[in-house]
Every structure is written in structure tokens, then in C-alpha cells.
Structure 1
Amino acid sequence: MYTASTAFLDALDAAGVSYLFVNLGSDHPGLVEALAEARAHGRRVPAVITCPNEMVALSAAQGHAQVSGQAQAVIVHVECGTQSLAGAVHNVAKARVPVLIFAGASPFTQFGEMTGSRNEFIQWIQDVHDQRGLVRGYMKYDNEIRTGRNVKQLTWRALQFAQSDPKGPVYLMGAREVMEEEVPEVAADVADWAPIAPAALPPGAVGELLDDLKRARRPLVVTSYLGRNIRAVGALQRLVGRLGIAVLESVPNAVNLPHDDPMYQGCQWNEPVQNPLLAEADLVLVLDSDVPWIPTVSRPRADARIWHIDVDPLKEQMPLWSIPARRVFRAHVETVLDQLSHLADAIGLDAGQFAERRSHYTALHEARRVRLRRLEARPSDNRITAEYLTAAIRAHVDDDTLVLNEGITNYPVVVNHIAPRRAGQMLNSGGGNLGWAGGAAIGAKLADPKRTVIAMTGDGSYMFSQPSTVHWMARQYRTPFLHVVFNNRGWRAPRYSTLAVHPQGYASRSDDIGVAFDPPPDYSAIAAAAGGAFAAKVETADALEPAIAAGLDAVKREGRAAVLDVWLPHLMEG
């Protein structure tokens, strides 16, 4: 029997969805039956990944899409499962990651009028007024499947939205009766729902921008997520090297320029100081950035000419947003960079005329490298600093390693001291909800099983990640990874936020402001109990390197996850 559920699975498979990250419930008998029927007859459908926690399911789908570039699907249970997706919905929306979320719905008949009619008490309780409204503010598209006769077209339309710039999550729901409906197979072609093609700059704007870049004395590119498209990184590197343009990352979500490139000038986060590069630049080109600077503490100089080119220049999900850019374009940054390079070739642009700019920025790049290496020095008291820990991990990072950064107050430390040298080597959630890295590591390993995945997280993020679910899944689906916990015994971010507003207030003099978990849980033991992970607590610099080596041996040779609970100075210090 060919049902709406069968058609839905066929549509996902035809669209290139490899995995269903599922948390099934009483609303899914049609899907469960269709999956079993497909296995019985050898018909191809996406592989099922059972996820005991919905937020982990969506984080895993996000991690897969971030590595593969292809949307994956998450299946959850009615409005309860939708709400349990929790902050992962925020992350996929803010990171502009394509994911299809499907939720069942309580049956709409109660006397056996149709197959799938209500037969459990919970189906009255879970019948709510506006289930789609729970996530509508975060979705690029939401709809309800009302008949199986057009379920393929509806699914492909949703994925067309998800995978068109600016990309993002989409949400479909369908009641039991609809998903049980027997329907004819529809002859339709997924190619008819192709994502929107990349947008370019108007020809006149290309010439105007290139002229501005040529005339500037101190041109600067500011970017955050250009590197989500790996090809754009190479295009940026070619242009800035040729023209001698500095690159500053602001709250980077990906590797936007290899850190060993002499035009790379570092990253900025929440530092309460004016960035000297922004202060010096007479031309600022903002490429794919949500927060290019924080104007209360750091901004470009008043006479700087500012261009803004972005896949989402209006920041449509941000009610309050502006930068003083006089030239603003919605465009695909890789395409724009290629346009600039092609025009430079056409006019025979002499790269030699930019030698002074290259020399200036190369000297700044080298001075920054020296400062960072000093910070990595082994502490004399045998304690472990975040910089020393990250440098020790960096020694084990090769071209086949992916680093997932959820360091929170140590975000910049991980970026600076891993110092990735190739596109796609480091990612973060792209959002503000904690707990992404564990599920994302599973999704990343499923997308590229040959890569070594290292997740570097704060201890608060580790607890948010649902580690018992994560490490059960890592063992169940053979996706081992190294999880390094920066354990400072609590949430340091709220303390820093409070001190920034009340530097001399009562909280600044208090030893307890409600953000510590001290003594902490045994983080690595949680993973060992849930998924047989290698577990180690590391409290001294002497013990660090042997623990890293043992953890990576467990991941690479034994095929099991490893968790290193690394103790840093207490959050109330410094």
C-alpha cells in the first residue's frame, strides 16, 4: 500500500536527504509502517537515527548540513516534541542552516471515522490551537500536510525554501489520518523545485567597488560566516592577497580565511576595546556578517566608506539592526569575489602597486602571531590555562580534523590558538543557544566518517548538550569523537556580562553570584556510563598531553568517543 507516509519518505530521498533524526511518538504509526515496509522490500529511504532527545536530533541534523551542505530531516512528536527541539531551533535559524523538521499532529477524528483516528488519551491533551506557531518565528517556511496527494510537491517546496539563500529551517506537520492516507504515486520531478540561483552584483557596482578598494590606503574586510561556503574562502584569499586587503573576523562562525595567510588579522568578539584595524580603515567591506562590530565599544572611523554585501543584508530576523553602510547589496559573496577578480584580470590590474599595504598588514599579522605564542606558554604552577590547553590540542589537528568550537567565553581562545589553516576546519553553532556541539559532532561524523572530530566546549555547554543522549548515540551509530570540556566550574559568561555593566557593583565583590557548579559533576563519567566513552579528568599540565593522546587513540583506534574533563582556573578568578 502506497501511503502519504511512503510518498513523504520517497520525496525526502529524491531530494538528497540521507538521514532522518527521529524521536517518534503516537502520531507516527504511518511513518513507522512505511519505513518497515521499505526495509522489507528493499526500497531505498533515508537512514533512521534514533535520538532520545529532540534538541540533540536537531543539532545532529545541523552538524551534518554544516559539513555536507545538504539539508537533513528531523522527525518529532506533535507539539511536545516541537517544544523539546528547544534552543536548537534558534541555532539553525540564526546560522541559516537548511533542515526540514516534520512533526505529527493529534488525530482530527475520534470515532474511528478514518484510519489513524484517536485511540489514546494523550491525543486529546496534545491537540493545541497553533502547533506551527510554536516555531513560526524561526522558520523560512511552515505548512500542514492536508492530503497525501501532493505531499511530494509540498516537501520539495519546503526544501526549496530551506536551501535557497538565505538558507534556514522549515517545518511541516501532518495528522495521523493524513499520513495514513492511501494515495496514487505522483509522477513529479524534484528538479522542478530547484533552490534559487546565487545573486551577483550589478556590473556597475563591481567596478565602483574595485575602484574603492584600489584607492583606499587601509582597506579592511570584516566577515563572520563567509566561510560556510568553502569555495568563497579561496576566492577571498586570492583577492585580498592580490590587492593587499586586511581581513578581520567578527564573531566567526567558520574559517573565513586561513590563519596563516598574512592578510589575516585576527578575530573580535566581546572585547570592551576599540579594534585598531577598524579605527584605521578608510574603506570597510562587510561580507556576510551579522555583527561586524559592537558600536558602544568599537566602530569604524567616522569618514570610512562602508560597503555591505550579504546573503541577508536586511537581517530579517533581527528587529534592531543597522550599520552606516551607503552601498548595500543582497548577493552571493563567492560570486561577488569572482566578479571582482575577473574585472581585475580584465583591466590588467598590477598587484605590485599594493606592495606597501601587503607589507603593512604582513607585519601586523606576524606581531599578532608572536603575541599568541607567548600566551601558550606552559604555566609555571602546573595549572592549565585555556590557551595552553588549546595549543596542546592544536598539535594533534591535521587536515582531516574538524574542530567544533563551543567554548563560549573561550570562543576567541579556541579560534586564536587552534589557528585553522584551511577552509572547513572549524565550525560553531552560528547561534546563541548552548549545547550544540555534542549532537553536531554526531551529525558531522555521519556526513564525513573519515574525519576526526574534536568538540571543544565549556562545562556549561557540555551539560546543555544532553551528554547521556549524545554518548549513547555516538556508540550506537559509530560516530566517535573527542570531547574536550573547559571546566571552570560554572557559567563564566553571566559573570563577565554583569561586570561589564556593574564593574564596581556588589556582584563584583561577591564570591557567589549563582553561576557556579562547584563541586561539578563528573563529566567524563557521564559519557562513560551512557556510551562506554574513554573518560579522563585532567587537573594538571603534566597530565594533559598523555590524556589527549589516550583520548585520540580511543577515538581513532578503538572507535569510541572520549571525554577529557580539563580543569582550568575557577570562573571567579580574574
Structure 2
Amino acid sequence: MKPMDALLEVLRTEGVEKVFGNPGTTELPLIDALAKASDFEYVLAVQEHSAVAMADGYARGTRRTAFVSLHVAAGLANGLIGMLNAKRSRTPLVVTAGQQDRRHLAQDPLLAGDLVGLAAAAAKSATEVHQANDLPVVLRRAFALAAQPPAGPVFVSIPMDLLAEDVDVPVPDRSPLAPLGAATGLDQAAWILASADHPAIVAGDGVGRDGAVAQLVNLAERLNATVYHNPMHDRMNFPFTHPLHGGMLPSHNAAVRAALTGHDVVLVVGCHAFSPHQYTPGPSFPERTRVVQLDDDPAELGRNFAVELGLTGGIRASLTELVAQVGRRAQPVRATRPAANGTPPPTLRAPLDPAVAAKAIADGLSTDAVVVDEAITLGSHLRPLLRLTRPNSFVHTAGGGLGWGIGAAIGTRMARPDRPVVAVLGDGCALFGLQGLWSAARYHVPVLFCVANNGEYRTLKDTLTESYGPGPHPGLDLGRMDWSKAALFFGVAARRVDSDTELREAVASAGSLVEPLLLDVPVR
């Protein structure tokens, strides 16, 4: 089998159906091969960050490793933002980039560069293939490593001349790996949890990644434990409407410590530290609080805080066993969806207060909707109002690389065509990933993009005012932009929202979309 055929065979047997990318000269052999392979779809992005973001959303939605093809050093550099987000969110990706022809690399040709060095900080592993025989083996390793806890992006550099070599290379069979089993020491964990007077659980994104939401609900109900989402969580790890849901923990240690005060035992499940955003002195936990930690990554145990007991194992398998061992402390609490207000509030006109816009979005969401959140100011109002109960209903990234939301929403909808996707975006965030709208239009992806248009970096203004006093400060004003025109330029239908009623109704109709639609939502 020739190198290019071997590459496609590895992708095929790894379950890859879509190749997300933006091609250049070094990817032309791949593009030619894909033209003859009808079982693959090449999903074009007009900027590499959008390609990686789409793959991120797609990998989460399908729960399979996604494949990305970038172009040499410059294309890889553009894609690094998405790779950093995927690494932080632990999204399994295999990212490749075409390297220049090896026969003239010594001459430092145009577009060449140290691809491995460039990718290293944003990937779990970065390597370059040097021999055609090694290509299938390296790709097999990449897919295995990307999915292995902690999941994340793996980078492979592939010289373009290697793919054109006229040699036969063997393709190793895929090696199916059994999922992690239950942790050892669960009997001791059950004893500690059952002895608590006021237990709490911190539900990390590992719960959602491993499909363990139902198991965590069972455990929380048996313990009658308050369940907090980890700070700036990326997934729906516990039903938002459940009576035991305590909301999301704040993103700095002092506030986390205050929220957990009064709980004598805390179980931390699948949580990458507590991801503090701003420094505050002191530990995350109140003094004398007993902490049990469960994770599929042993490096997380005791990493940022001392634990009485650290457990390594599959999240779902361990929670299933833990439920059986804990017994029942109280009558199980059943989730109840909040009743809708029978009297509709008066219509409010744009520009809307961010809290009003958030409520309109939350009230309009259908029970099967998926929310992709990249709205920093509006998102802080939205999260406490969400009534999401189905797994995989919430998608966010704590990676910090802005411009992720548009592409992630497209990939999410491609992965889950049976569920409406509503992307809630800040205007500053959306500007970083604006080119993703081209792909939404090109592939007719029916996502509802809600852009909160306040014409400024609001969160920075708030932080500056709190820390240094009122401004004005330079570099924080964008000015009012016409997002309808921006969307139409890329071929996406758009309209301006003039009231909270119109916003709520548009969100409610997201499931009937057959093409993408952008809402320009003026907020104060």
C-alpha cells in the first residue's frame, strides 16, 4: 500500500469521516487522494483557527477523535489557538500539517519551519514522520494517544514528498483498547462519603466526557449531596434543574472556599484543578474539610490541593460501583423542571440589559437544544438561568483562545444533526472567529448564532474599574458594528433583534432552521 493510501486507510479504520482543514501546496497530495475517496468529506475552513474549532465541536459531539489538516508553519500557527483550547478542554484531535519537501529543507525553503517545535506547547505530543514506513505507525499512535486520558490534540508533521514515494508500506491493524475500569479504594471512599453530615460534589468535565451524568445523579441523590459544577465548566456534568444543583463554583480560590464552607466532605470528580482565573490568597478548601478525588488522569490527584483519598479509574465505571457501595442515606431527590411563568413579562426594547437578553435566550431554548457558549459578559448571566438536563447540552472552552465559538457550533451541529444548536457569542469573541461563518454557509449548517453586540470589551472594563477605578481606558472600545452586514458578506442570513420577545421567539424556533442564521442582539 502506497503512503497516501496507507494514510487514508488509517483514517478510515479510526472512524474518520470528515477532514477539517485549509490546504496549501504541501497538502495537494492529500487533496488529490480525497477527490478519489468518496467515503471522506473535506470540510473547508477559510482560516485555520476555524478548522480546529469545528473539529473540536465535532469530536465532542461524536465522542470520537477528529482529524485536522493544516498547512506548513503559518497554517499551524493560526491553528495553535484552537489546539490550545482543545488541550485545555481535553478534546481528542489528531492535527497534521504538511512539511516542505525534505530534499531542500536544508536550504530553508519558503513556508518551511520547525513544525514540531511550534506545536509542542499546544499538543500532548508533536512529531515529524521521517520514513514512509513509519507513517501508519505514527498515525496509529497519534489516534491512541489523543483519546488516552487526559485526552487532547496530538500533532504529526508529514513531509509532502514522503506521501508521493513509490514504496509499499504496511498498515498495522487498529488496536481496540478497553475503557478504564473502576478505581480501587472505592470501599474506603464510600465509607468517607457515607459518614458526612453535609457532603458536596464538584462535578468536573470528566463526568460529561465519560458519559457519567446519570451515575453522578444517582450518587448525589443517595448522599443528598449538593453538586457544584467546576469553575467555567466546558460541559453539562449535572442537570441544571436538579434540586441538588448548587450552580457553578467561582473561578478564584477565595470564592470557592466560601462556597464550600459548611460542607464537611467534598468529592471532586473529573475536575482539572479548579482552574482559578484571578489570584486570591489561600487554599481552595475550608480548613478541616475532608476531600476525596476521583479522576481518570492520575496526575490530577492531589495536584493543587491535598486529598484524604485519591482514586484513579474510569469515571463512569467508578461512579457506578460507588453508588452500589454507598447505600442510601435519604429518599432520592427527583429533578423537577421549573414551572414557566404564566404571565409573560412586558416586552423590552433593544439595546437590552445583558441579564434581560440572557433570560430571553434561556426562556426560548427547547429541551433538546445544545448551547455553545462564548459570551463572556452575557454568559455570566446566562449560566445560572439555563435549564439544561440532557447530556451534551452545553459546550464551552476554558482554553481562553477567543474565536472558538462559531467553529465549535458548526462542528457540534455537524455531529448532532438531530439537535438544534444555539451559539451565544460576545461580539469581541465572534470577531476572532468570524471566518467560520463562511463554512456555516458553505455547508448549510443550521446553527443559530446570537451575537451580543455591546461594542466593547465589557469584562475588561468591569475588571479595570474594580481594580484601578473608572476610565476611560484605551483599547477597550470596538464601536457599534452592523453584524447583519458581516454575516451577509459570508452568505449567512441575519437580522437585528429589537426586543427580548423577538430574541426569545427566535431562539425557540432554532430547531426549524435549515440554514444558518445570525441574530445581531444589541445589549447595553
The TM-score with structure 2 as length reference comes to 0.90
Indicate the SS of the match to 1:92. helix
* Alpha-carbon shift at residue 211 of structure 1 (Å): 1.0
Of the three residues 230, 238, 247, the one matched with 1:250 is 230
The residue number in structure 2 matching 1:572 is none
Amino acid paired to 1:334: R
Amino acid paired to 2:13: A
Indicate the SS of the match to 1:486. strand
Of the three residues 60, 65, 74, the one matched with 1:80 is 74
Amino acid paired to 2:447: F
Amino acid paired to 1:18: E
* Alpha-carbon shift at residue 31 of structure 1 (Å): 1.3
* Alpha-carbon shift at residue 340 of structure 1 (Å): 0.7
Of the three residues 257, 263, 269, the one matched with 1:281 is 263
Of the three residues 34, 56, 61, the one matched with 2:55 is 61
Amino acid paired to 1:388: V
Alpha-carbon separation, structure 1, partners of 2:25 and 2:349: 57
Indicate the SS of the match to 1:35. helix
The residue number in structure 2 matching 1:228 is 208
Percent pairwise identity: 22
Decide whether aligned partners of structure 1 residues 387 and 267 sit closer, same or farther in structure 2, where only a CA change above 3 A counts: same
Of the three residues 166, 180, 194, the one matched with 1:198 is 180
CA contact (8 A) 1:454 1:483 kept: yes
Counterpart mapping for 1:56-455 below 5 A: 56-110=50-104, 124-128=109-113, 130-184=114-168, 186=170, 188-190=172-174, 192=175, 194-195=176-177, 197-202=179-184, 205-229=185-209, 231-251=211-231, 252-270=233-251, 273=255, 276-292=258-274, 294=276, 296=281, 299-315=284-300, 322-344=304-326, 349=327, 351=328, 353-354=329-330, 384-455=352-423
The residue number in structure 1 matching 2:502 is 546
Alpha-carbon separation, structure 1, partners of 2:464 and 2:299: 30
* Alpha-carbon shift at residue 273 of structure 1 (Å): 4.3
Of the three residues 426, 432, 443, the one matched with 1:477 is 443
Q: Deviations over 1:208-248 (max 9, x none)?
A: 11111111111010123134336310000011112211101
The residue number in structure 2 matching 1:30 is 29
Deviates more, 1:254-263 or 1:148-157: 148-157
Indicate the SS of the match to 1:228. helix
CA contact (8 A) 2:348 2:500 kept: no
The residue number in structure 1 matching 2:45 is 51
The residue number in structure 2 matching 1:522 is 482
* Alpha-carbon shift at residue 57 of structure 1 (Å): 0.2
> Rg larger in 1 or in 2?
1
Alpha-carbon separation, structure 2, partners of 1:384 and 1:411: 14
Amino acid paired to 1:523: W
Q: Deviations over 1:393-422 (max 9, x none)?
A: 233322331110112233332221122122
* Alpha-carbon shift at residue 250 of structure 1 (Å): 2.2
Aligned alpha-carbon RMSD (Å): 3.0
CA contact (8 A) 2:284 2:305 kept: no
Alpha-carbon separation, structure 2, partners of 1:266 and 1:147: 52
* Alpha-carbon shift at residue 284 of structure 1 (Å): 1.0
* Alpha-carbon shift at residue 297 of structure 1 (Å): 7.5
Q: Greater relative contact order (Cα 8 A, min sep 6): structure 1 or 2?
A: 2
CA contact (8 A) 1:244 1:263 kept: yes
Alpha-carbon separation, structure 1, partners of 2:496 and 2:465: 30
Decide whether aligned partners of structure 1 residues 89 and 36 sit closer, same or farther in structure 2, where only a CA change above 3 A counts: same
Alpha-carbon separation, structure 2, partners of 1:188 and 1:51: 31
Decide whether aligned partners of structure 1 residues 292 and 109 sit closer, same or farther in structure 2, where only a CA change above 3 A counts: closer
Indicate the SS of the match to 2:299. coil
Amino acid paired to 1:233: V
Indicate the SS of the match to 2:37. helix
Indicate the SS of the match to 1:201. coil
Indicate the SS of the match to 2:330. helix
The residue number in structure 1 matching 2:13 is 14
Decide whether aligned partners of structure 1 residues 313 and 189 sit closer, same or farther in structure 2, where only a CA change above 3 A counts: closer
The residue number in structure 1 matching 2:517 is 562
CA contact (8 A) 1:273 1:297 kept: no
Indicate the SS of the match to 2:307. coil
Alpha-carbon separation, structure 1, partners of 2:81 and 2:367: 31
Decide whether aligned partners of structure 1 residues 422 and 231 sit closer, same or farther in structure 2, where only a CA change above 3 A counts: same
Decide whether aligned partners of structure 1 residues 77 and 381 sit closer, same or farther in structure 2, where only a CA change above 3 A counts: closer
CA contact (8 A) 1:481 1:562 kept: yes
Q: Deviations over 1:334-390 (max 9, x none)?
A: 12111112224xxxx3x3x436xx89xx9xx99xx89x99xx976878752223222
* Alpha-carbon shift at residue 515 of structure 1 (Å): 0.9
Decide whether aligned partners of structure 1 residues 495 and 383 sit closer, same or farther in structure 2, where only a CA change above 3 A counts: closer
Alpha-carbon separation, structure 2, partners of 1:184 and 1:293: 48
Indicate the SS of the match to 2:423. strand
Decide whether aligned partners of structure 1 residues 556 and 223 sit closer, same or farther in structure 2, where only a CA change above 3 A counts: closer
The TM-score with structure 1 as length reference comes to 0.83
Q: Deviations over 1:429-476 (max 9, x none)?
A: 2421111110011111211222211000111111111x2x22221121
Decide whether aligned partners of structure 1 residues 411 and 440 sit closer, same or farther in structure 2, where only a CA change above 3 A counts: same
Decide whether aligned partners of structure 1 residues 69 and 314 sit closer, same or farther in structure 2, where only a CA change above 3 A counts: same
* Alpha-carbon shift at residue 257 of structure 1 (Å): 0.9
Decide whether aligned partners of structure 1 residues 313 and 411 sit closer, same or farther in structure 2, where only a CA change above 3 A counts: farther
* Alpha-carbon shift at residue 56 of structure 1 (Å): 0.2
* Alpha-carbon shift at residue 262 of structure 1 (Å): 1.4
Gaps of 5+ in 2: none
* Alpha-carbon shift at residue 547 of structure 1 (Å): 4.8
* Alpha-carbon shift at residue 100 of structure 1 (Å): 0.6
* Alpha-carbon shift at residue 552 of structure 1 (Å): 6.5
Indicate the SS of the match to 1:135. helix
Indicate the SS of the match to 1:354. coil
Number of paired residues? 517
Decide whether aligned partners of structure 1 residues 220 and 473 sit closer, same or farther in structure 2, where only a CA change above 3 A counts: same
Deviates more, 1:181-190 or 1:82-91: 181-190
CA contact (8 A) 1:108 1:175 kept: yes
Amino acid paired to 1:314: A
Alpha-carbon separation, structure 1, partners of 2:260 and 2:294: 17
The residue number in structure 2 matching 1:113 is none
